Amino acid sequence: MASDLQHTLWLWLEGFFPRRVWYYLLTKGLVASSADLLEGRTTESNLRINRMHMDMSKGGWTFADPSNPAPPGASTPCLGISDPATGETRYIYESASILVYLETVYGGRGRGSPPAMPIDPIDVATMHDIIGITNLATLDAGYYTRHAVPALAAWSGLANEDRSRAAGLNAHAGMARNLGKIQSWAAASLKTTGWLTPGRGGGPGLADFCLAAGRRYLELTFGWDMFEGEGEELNELAAWYERFKGLDWWEAAEENAVVHPRN
């Protein structure tokens, strides 16, 4: 049973993909407050957070609990699932997969917020469509910034002479096209509930956490609103993001410079 398993989340709170996870944890009440998030405390006895810090003077990652580091080669977030009966630990590495697992195991707990995933098979498929195209949009955004920002190009291993205006513009166009698909595919849900994730009651779901994390990370890192500059085409996504920022945990958590990327 999942209740017999021990779960460890390795999170670098400043990062893009970890944001997806801690947005979920705070919304569901699996972490009670932003202060608890910083301390790695959850409301579940079999779920803990091991905060990661980037310290290049020490060769890369350090851990709040150094006795339990993330597995070799893992990025962040990473979820470890340990079975005390067998001593076996298995891992989930991708943020969207971690969200699905956490909602499956802990979705009925927390503070009683609405389910973060739909039940109807078509709605489930639509949610995964939106998450998938969100991943493509943010990937294109990453390619755009690598070609537009010299420091990021160097960090990414792209030589300055290999930066390309044409490649950057092509990536930006792909990002805008995919954001338009998100807005179109989520149109019915945005109209009825105000959120991207279909087939549920009020409140954000897994698709919402995925896009909001990318939008916020790009804003913090580059001062860039990925919904701007597209005329009125993405107004519904812009309004959705303002709604997301109205969640009760946002100000205490996301306006805290401790979780902001260090440029």
- Enter the CATH code of domain 2-106: 3.40.30.10
> What is the structure's pLDDT at 154?
66
- 107-118: pLDDT as tens digits: 876 565 788 999
Q: Is the pLDDT of residue 178 over 70?
A: yes
- 58-88: pLDDT as tens digits: 667 889 999 999 999 899 999 999 999 999 9
> What is the structure's pLDDT at 3?
66
CATH topology of 2-106 equal to that of 121-248? Answer: no
> What confidence tier does 150 reach under pLDDT thresholds 50, 70, 90?
confident
Cα separation of 210 and 96, whole Å? 7
**Phi and psi for 92 in degrees, rounded to 5?**
-120, 130
- Do residues 50 and 9 make contact, with C-beta atoms less than 8 angstroms apart? yes
- Length, in residues, of the chain: 263
CA atoms within 13 A on the CB side of 9: 32
- 221-250: pLDDT as tens digits: 888 899 987 555 899 999 999 999 999 999
Is CATH 1.20.1050.10 correct for 121-248?
Answer: yes
- Do residues 29 and 110 make contact, with C-beta atoms less than 8 angstroms apart? yes
**Phi and psi for 2 in degrees, rounded to 5?**
-60, -30
- Residues whose CB is less than 8 angstroms from the CB of residue 21 and which lie 6 or more positions away in sequence, other chains included: 9, 11, 77, 95, 98, 99, 102, 209
Tokens for 183?
Answer: 């807005």
> What confidence tier does 258 reach under pLDDT thresholds 50, 70, 90?
confident
Q: Quickly list DSSP for 77-139.
A: SEEEEEETTTTEEEEE-SHHHHHHHHHHHHTT-TT-PPPSS--SHHHHHHHHHHHHHHHHHHH
> What is the structure's pLDDT at 201?
78
Q: Domain coordinates of the chain in residue numbers?
A: 2-106, 121-248
